[in-house]
Structure 1
Amino acid sequence: MLFLGKVIKSLAIGTVFGVAIGMMVLPELDRKTQRNIRRTSKKLRCAAGDAYDNILDYIN
């Protein structure tokens, strides 16, 4: 269980850094690229939420 906590903590830290870098880079990109990034990030958030739910179901 301790290992899972470290994994989740590492993922959260990576997400924070990724968002921070994205916020710095995104304004310099054209609209089409920004739209593609937003769409992809929405899909990834949904996939991550599904994976999280599956992990919780597996644990319980």
Structure 2
Amino acid sequence: MFKRFATGIVVGAAAAIVILPQLDRKTQRAVRRTGKKMCCMVGDAYDNVLHYIK
């Protein structure tokens, strides 16, 4: 399961690197903000799972 998750992250990052420079600044900023929010959400979910397991 972790391998699939890691693969998804790598593929998504590669797609973002290719697509992001073609977008205007406002859209780039929105994509970056959303990415940061998603990272925080994933981190919180991971911490919750670890806390639940313990």
TM-score range relative to shorter protein: over 0.9
What is the deviation of 1:27? 0.3
Aligned length: 54
Greater Cα radius of gyration, structure 1 or 2:
1
Matched residues in 1 for 2:3 and 2:48: separation?
18
Please list every run of at least 4 consecutive aligned residues from structure 1 whose deviation after the TM superposition is greater than 2 angstroms.
none
**Counterpart in 1 of 2:51?**
57
Q: C-alpha root-mean-square deviation of aligned residues, in Å? A: 0.6
Q: TM-score, normalised by structure 1?
A: 0.86
Deviations 1:6-33, CA, capped at 9 Å, x for gaps = x222111100000001000000000000
**Counterpart in 2 of 1:24?**
18
Runs of 5+ unmatched residues, structure 1: 1-6
Identity %: 56
Counterpart amino acid of residue 54 in structure 1? N
**Counterpart in 2 of 1:3?**
none
